[in-house]
Every structure is written in C-alpha cells, then in structure tokens.
Chains A and B, each alone.
Chain A
Amino acid sequence: MNRQLIAELIRLRYKLMWARTRSRNGKIALFMAGYLLLVLLMALMGAGGLGAGIAAVRQGKAEQVAQIVLGGLYVEAIIVPLMLGFGMNAVFSDFELRRYPLSGLDRRLARHSIGLLDPFWFLFLVMELGLVVGLYALGGGFFWLGLAGVLLLTVSNYLMARVAGLAIDRLVRKKAGTSILLAVVLLLAFVPGLAAPALHKHPEAAAAVLQVLAYTPPFGAAAMATHGGMAAAGGLLVIVCWTIGLVAALVALEKRPPALQAVQKGGIRWETRYERLASLFGPHNAPLVAYWMRFCLRNSRFRTLYLLALPLGAFLTFQLGVRGRGGIGLFAAALGTFPWVTFLGTSRIAVNQYGYTGGAFRRFFLLPSDPAASLRAGSYVSVFFGALLLPVGAALWCIFAPRPFDIRRLIMLLGMGFAGLFALHAAGLWATVFGPRKGNYNASFGNDMSAMGNVVVIGGVLIFMLLPVALKELAPAGLDPQNWWWPLGAALAALGAYRFSLRAVSAVFSGRRERLMAIVEGRQS
C-alpha cells in the first residue's frame, strides 16, 4: 500500500478546499462556515447526543435510548447523502487517479478515505460521541468502548450510504429500475408507520423485530457503549461483520460498473414526444424547452430525486403529522411538505441550470435568439416537471386524508404547492445567475451546489416545513379551512415573484455571461 501517495492525495483535497478561500467571497464563506460549524457542534453535543445520553441514564433505559438515537442517526446519515449529496464527495474519480502510480487498492483507499473525512461524517460522529459522553458522565456506559463503537459505526454508516447510492444509481439506469425504486421507497416510507400500531398490539412480534435489529450496526454500537464484557464483544462483532460485508459489496459494485447502452449502427430514430410537449410553450421556446426536457430526463440524479421527492414528502407528512407527542396534525404537516415536494426533484438543475453544461454554455450565445431565452426555457421545464407532482400529491391526499374529507383543505394544499413551486423556482433563477458552480452531469450523488444554491434548497425546505409549526403557535386560524383563501393568495404572490424574477434575471443574464462561462467551464470557482 502506498501510504505516502494516499496521504498526499488527502492533503491535496484539503489544499483544493483551502484554495477556494483565496477570493474575498471564499474568505467570507469560510468564516461563516466555521462559525456555523462551531455553533452546530456545540448544539449537537449538548442538545443532541449528550442530552439524550443523560435522559437515557435518568430513565434507567440507557441501552434502549442509545439504540433509538444511534439507529435514528444511522438512517438519517443514509437518507441525507442520498437526497442532498452531503458526505459523498470523493473529489477524485478512479479514472483521474489512474494517472498516478497507485494500485487499484490504493486508489480505492484514497477515494474512500477522502469521502470518509468529509466534514458531514464528523457532524454525525460528534452527535454519537455526545451520547457516549452523556452515558459515561452519568455512569451509564463505557467511554473507550463507546468511542470505538461510534467510530466503527461511522465507517459502516459511510459504507452503507455509498453502497445504497451505487445500488440506486445502477437501478435507475435500467428500464424498470425507476418503478422498482419507487415501489421500494414507498414501502420504506409507509410500512413503518402502518406496522407501528400492529407491533404495539402484539408485543411478541415487537420482541422478534428487536431481536433481528440487535444484529444491526447501531444496536451493536449501543451494546458497546452501554455494556462491558461479552455483550460489548458481541456488539463489536456485529459492526465488524457488517463493515466487512459492506466493503465486499462496495468493491463488487465498483468493480462492475453499469453496462453502457449497446451502440446501434444505422438509421436515425426521430423521437418527437419532447418536441410535441415543448410545443405547448410556443414555437419560439419549443426547441429550447425540448432540449431542457431531454437534459433533465436523461440525468440519473434528476430521475432519482424526482422519484424520491413525493414518497419523502409523504413520509415526512406522516412522521410530523401523526407520530409522537409532538405531532402537528396530518393537514398541517402536509401544508409544510406540499410546497417543497414540487421543487426537490428539480432543485439541482433549477438552482444551477448551467453548472452541468460545461463548454456547451457558449452555444446559447451563438444562437440567433435572446440568450436569456435558454434561462427561461430551463426554468419553465423545471416548473413544469415540479407542477406534475401536484395532481399526484392531491390524489394521495384524497386517499389518505382524515375523514370527513374537506375540499377546502385540498385547495389550501394545492395553493401552498403552487406557492412553493413558484417561490422556490424564482429563488432558483437568481441562484443560477449569481451563484453558479461547475458540477458533474454524470455524477449520481454528491452535493455540488454553490453556497447560494444550498441556501435556496435547504433553506427553502426548512422554511416551508417550519411554516405550519409557526402557524400553529402564532396564528392557528391559518390552519382553519374557513380561511382557505390565503394559500391561493400566497400562490398568486409567488407567481408574481417568479414572473418578476424571470424578467429581472433575464435582464442581467447577458451581462453576467463571461463570469458564468468561466465558472461553468471550470476556469474560475
């Protein structure tokens, strides 16, 4: 193993990160990121893991609480990288590393060491560490064993996220893959919620489920953190076995990349369904709209996120609405999820339309049309795809809504859906022009949005998720169906903001093109 070269590559990754801070904007971003990270770490250590640890010991259920906390974090640390791309950035591809004198094993180790050293995994490690410290401080656990447990858990968590990512990537490339993925996600989203009451009724079944869960990494780590002796050794064995299994799965998936499409020689097959759909946007926009439709639908990340958006929205609606003591009600929760569901699937491209085009960006300025027409056409496509989810969401609401069914609630949900759709796409237009970033069109995972793009996507989701909570506390009348009209007003206001943004951003687009060109072609960051 070439440790020296691997260490050099890891250093290079951090040098590249540091290089980005050379500009004034980079320095501001570094300061903000450092400050936020510090605050977040303190909050996570304190309120997150440490608080849970203390509560666990006080209740006399140290191992149970540790299992729940570590299990929850483990699942979140798989979902967040898959949905938002955090923690999946290996920086260098295997292809790029082949130019250095590194063996296959060295290249794999270098890539995954860099991936595992992403700050994202440190955040989860800190939360888990907080639990261990909390348990140890109150005499409910073993520090060194717990530390070893959460370190191994983080490694297995990273490997699990990677394996899941590769498996999904492979799945969505197949014809029936997207349908299978949708079915799996729906199953994962709804089965726990539906199974919970059944398990509550049948404790023997719940005990059997717990017995199976005991052989999972978070439960293994919980055993290490709360027990000594054979129980801790058993926990260690569970995590080590999982880690070995996941490494084997990862190597197997990476060694057999997805097969490329067979090359067909012969005549051209003119496919016009995109052109037919695009003609709805008028003859002037049609060619550009058809292009952006192909651009989106041929992108595996777009397809994955688009398919996952609705099941994730349904899952969160259910979780926030009816589960636990803090449930805010199914309708209130849906009022918070409808607005961003229409945006999440298209978000990557909506906030960074040209980031994945590379040198092709120049083409838009060579065409005999207003260059900003391409910007508008891209946004129309994104809004169009987002809006297509609303009827599906409405149908799901009609099926699962609490009875008696109130049509005014459906109107409110659709109103909020359109409000989110237009407001977030308006913000996406600004991010596209003022916060672009070069991304990799072919990468299925990894967060390659700019800081502004992240603020729009993550900030937008959080704001809409918190809106019903705030309404419930501050203006409960806003959730009353008698006031069904206000979401429609919000939708109209958002439409106004979107139209204004289209015009305003179009006006500055040409003037910004040289900077955009330099960024999307990778000459500037």
Chain B
Amino acid sequence: MNPQADAVRVSRLVKKYGNTIAVENLSLTVRAGTMFGFLGPNGSGKSTTIGCLTGLLDPTAGQVEILGSRFTSESADLKRRMGVMPETLGLFDPLYAHEFLAFVGRMFGLEEATVRRRVTELLEALELTDSGKTLGEYSTGMRKRVAFAAAVIHAPEVLFLDEPFESIDPAGVALMKQWLRRFTEQGRTVFITSHVLETVERLCHEVAIITKPGKLVWQGDITVLGQEGAIEFDDKRFTALEPLFLHLTGERYADLNWL
C-alpha cells in the first residue's frame, strides 16, 4: 500500500436521526500508515461517525472513501480489509472466546489452519486462557481484549477502534499499544477514539477534535508535543493535548454546595 495515499477520506458527512443532527458536514482525511486520534466530548458524534465509516450506519449525506474506494454498508470487499472494534464490542455472549474468534476468522476468509493458529496465539498473548467461560461470563476488560483480537485477527489494512483502552489493565494496554505501533510501521492505518488524552498524545501522529453535533473544530499533527514542542492555536500555545482539547470543547465548572 502506498503510505502517502489517504486511507480514509470523509467528505461533507451528515448523519441525522429525524430532526436531530448527530454529524454535521464532517470532512477529514487520514493518511495511510498513521495512528489517527478522533476526539470529542460525550455525545459529540464520535461513535456515530465511526458507525458511518464502518457500515453500521447509513450516512444521511456525504461520502466515505476507504483505501481509495467508495465505501457503503454493502462494500463487502472493503470490509474484508478493515478491522473494527465497535463501541458495544459486538461479542456473541453464548460462545467461548476461541469459538468467537474462529467464527470471525472464518467469516473473513482465513484458512482453517490459519484460523486455529492465530486464535491460539491471540488468546495466549492477550492472556485469555479461561477457556471454560463463555464471553457472557467474562469481565469487561477481558471482553475488550476479545473484541480487540476479533478486530485484528485478519490483519486488516485499516483498523477502527472505538474506546479501545478503557477497562483494560496497564499490562494489556501496553501490549495493545505495542501491536498498534508495529501495525502503523507496516504502513497500516489506525483510527482510534479515546477519552484518555495522555494515551492519545503518546500514541497518535495526528488528531481530529469534534464538538456537538459532529462538527470538526481542529485537525492537525501532534507529534510536536512529544518532542517538547507546542501547538499554536487562537493565539495560544498548547504544550499538551488536554488544554487544547478543553479550550476547543469548552471548560465547565459547576459548584454544587451540597457535594
């Protein structure tokens, strides 16, 4: 894959639920081979945007291109090149972890021998060794690990991760970060949403910040922050992502005297 090409291109994306606008004229591009952070406050439309980018939701208007081709919910060939960890994880609770991962692998067209090898390796690496428990009996963190494994089992070219690190212990997060870094080094792309700004700052090359209702307010390179540099915006200097995020989305303070 050409690392200079755009892995994801969104043009004037609109998503409405009745009269409610969830995403308003969102346009952005994600270069191939980058780790892209997609940030915004609760209810700003991040998951709705990811839903439109992955075929879960139909956009009301606008266009989505993935890996240079027009993407719709029917684009099975493109879906084969994508990995998604949705907000609700999308796990089949009655199955065991290995059964679920094998199901996903088979659906993505992997050979049976490859399925078994990758499932075994993923489960061991992610320490999901309670083979007597169904997914419904797993803890939240373990479920997240399984959903992550399902997103990467077919080694996709573009990976969409909706809040991947929440509820996972530090060792698990470190392992996932290591995998994601190697993923982008190979020219693959990661599109990630998270509320943990420190992690995004350390992990991502580029960031887009949206506010309600799904409006892009800033997009740019944040690698300078890791080199003790700063981002200049609105005549202000930001040396970390958090103050920039709060400046763009609005700081709030409410004093409840009984609390």
Q: How far is the CA of A359 from the CA of B86 in the complex (A)?
A: 9
Q: How far is the CA of A363 from the CA of B86 in the complex (A)?
A: 8
Instruction: Give B103 Cβ to nearest chain A Cβ, in Å.
Output: 5
Q: How far is the CA of A260 from the CA of B137 in the complex (A)?
A: 10
Known: A287-B107, A360-B92. A366 touches B86 (CB 8 A): yes
Interface hits, B62-105 → A, CB 8 Å: 73-74, 76-77, 79-80, 84, 86, 88-95, 98-99, 102-104
Pair A366/B93 contact, Cβ less than 8 Å? no
Instruction: Give A269 Cβ to nearest chain B Cβ, in Å.
Output: 7
Known: A359-B88, A368-B108. A294 touches B94 (CB 8 A): yes
Pair B130/A265 contact, Cβ less than 8 Å? yes
B55 proximal to A (CB < 8 A)? yes
Pair A262/B93 contact, Cβ less than 8 Å? no
Counting from the closest, the 3 A-B pairs by CB-CB distance are A359-B88, A264-B132, A363-B90
B6 proximal to A (CB < 8 A)? no
Pair B55/A514 contact, Cβ less than 8 Å? no
Q: How far is the CA of A267 from the CA of B96 in the complex (A)?
A: 13
Q: How far is the CA of A263 from the CA of B130 in the complex (A)?
A: 6
Pair A266/B129 contact, Cβ less than 8 Å? yes
Partner of A264, one of B106, B109, B131: B131
Pair B57/A441 contact, Cβ less than 8 Å? no
Instruction: Give B48 Cβ to nearest chain A Cβ, in Å.
Output: 11
Closest-by-CB residue of B relative to A371 is B73
B56 proximal to A (CB < 8 A)? yes
Note all chain A residues with C-beta closer than 8 A to B74.
370, 510
Q: How far is the CA of A466 from the CA of B175 in the complex (A)?
A: 64
Note all chain B residues with C-beta closer than 8 A to A363.
86, 90-92
Instruction: Give B150 Cβ to nearest chain A Cβ, in Å.
Output: 8
Instruction: Give B169 Cβ to nearest chain A Cβ, in Å.
Output: 18
Closest-by-CB residue of B relative to A517 is B56
B231 proximal to A (CB < 8 A)? no
Note all chain A residues with C-beta closer than 8 A to B106.
286-287
Pair A514/B58 contact, Cβ less than 8 Å? yes
Note all chain B residues with C-beta closer than 8 A to A400.
none
Q: Mark B119-135, 1 if CB is under 8 A from A, else 0.
A: 11001000001111110
Known: A260-B137, A294-B95, A366-B84. A360 touches B90 (CB 8 A): yes
Interface hits, A502-525 → B, CB 8 Å: 510, 513-514, 517, 521
B116 proximal to A (CB < 8 A)? yes
Partner of B54, one of A366, A370, A514: A366
Q: How far is the CA of A295 from the CA of B91 in the complex (A)?
A: 12
Pair A268/B90 contact, Cβ less than 8 Å? no
Note all chain A residues with C-beta closer than 8 A to B243.
none
Q: Mark A321-363, 1 if CB is under 8 A from B, else 0.
A: 0000000000000000000000000000000000001111111
Q: Number of A interface residues, CB 8 Å?
A: 41
Pair A367/B119 contact, Cβ less than 8 Å? no
A-B contact pairs, 15 of them (CB 8 A): A265-B131, A270-B98, A290-B103, A291-B95, A358-B93, A359-B86, A362-B88, A363-B91, A367-B104, A368-B76, A368-B107, A369-B107, A441-B93, A510-B73, A521-B88
Note all chain A residues with C-beta closer than 8 A to B136.
441-442
Instruction: Give B121 Cβ to nearest chain A Cβ, in Å.
Output: 11
Q: How far is the CA of A429 from the CA of B74 in the complex (A)?
A: 21
Pair A270/B116 contact, Cβ less than 8 Å? yes
- Chain B contacts to A: CB under 8 angstroms: 54-58, 73-74, 76-77, 79-80, 84, 86, 88-95, 98-99, 102-104, 106-109, 116, 119-120, 123, 129-134, 136-137
A365 proximal to B (CB < 8 A)? yes
Q: How far is the CA of A261 from the CA of B132 in the complex (A)?
A: 7
- Chain A contacts to B: CB under 8 angstroms: 260-270, 286-288, 290-291, 294-295, 298-299, 357-363, 365-371, 441-442, 510, 513-514, 517, 521
Known: A265-B129, A359-B90, A514-B58. A367 touches B107 (CB 8 A): yes
Note all chain B residues with C-beta closer than 8 A to A362.
56, 86, 88, 90
Note all chain A residues with C-beta closer than 8 A to B76.
368-370
Known: A287-B103, A359-B89. A367 touches B133 (CB 8 A): no
Instruction: Give A358 Cβ to nearest chain B Cβ, in Å.
Output: 7
Pair B94/A298 contact, Cβ less than 8 Å? yes
Instruction: Give B259 Cβ to nearest chain A Cβ, in Å.
Output: 20
Q: Which of A267, A441, A521 has the most CB of B within 10 A?
A: A267
Partner of A268, one of B57, B80, B89, B120: B120
Partner of A291, one of B92, B129, B133: B92
Note all chain B residues with C-beta closer than 8 A to A260.
137
Instruction: Give A261 Cβ to nearest chain B Cβ, in Å.
Output: 6
Partner of B56, one of A270, A294, A295, A365: A365
Note all chain A residues with C-beta closer than 8 A to B90.
359-363, 366
Note all chain B residues with C-beta closer than 8 A to A290.
103
Pair B119/A268 contact, Cβ less than 8 Å? yes
Instruction: Give B172 Cβ to nearest chain A Cβ, in Å.
Output: 18
Note all chain B residues with C-beta closer than 8 A to A264.
130-132
Instruction: Give B12 Cβ to nearest chain A Cβ, in Å.
Output: 20
Q: How far is the CA of A365 from the CA of B94 in the complex (A)?
A: 19
